[in-house]
Amino acid sequence: MEEVATIQLSGHGGRSKIVEKKQVLIQRASNSTFVQADKPIYMPGQLVRFRIVTLNSSFMPLNEEYPLVELKDPDSNRIGQWLNVKPERGIVQLSFQLAAEPSLGTYTIIVDGRQTYRTFRVEEYVLPKFKLVVTEPTQIFTSDAAFPLKVCGKYTYGKPVLGTVQVSLCRTAYTWYVDGMGSKPTDICQNVTGKVRREVGKGLTEV
Domain ranges within the chain, ordered by starting residue: 32-122, 130-206
Which residues in the chain show pLDDT less than 50? 200-207
Question: For residues 48 and 91, what is the distance between their CA atoms, to the nearest angstrom?
Answer: 17
How far apart (Å, rounded) are the C-alpha atoms in residues 70 and 197?
Answer: 47
What pLDDT shows up at residue 104? 95
Fold held by 32-122: Immunoglobulin-like (2.60.40)
Write the CA distances from 142 to 2, 139, 145, 146, 189, integer angstroms. 90, 10, 8, 10, 16
CA–CA separation, 122 and 106 (whole Å): 7
Question: How does pLDDT run across 3-24, given as a tens digit for each residue?
Answer: 778 888 787 777 777 778 888 7
pLDDT tens track for 134-173: 888 888 887 888 888 888 888 877 788 878 888 888 877 6
Q: What is the DSSP string of 74-100?
A: TT--EEEEEEEE--BTTEEEEEEEPPS
Would you mind telling me the total number of residues written for the chain in this entry? 207
What is the model's pTM? 0.51
pLDDT at 8: 80
pLDDT score at 16: 75
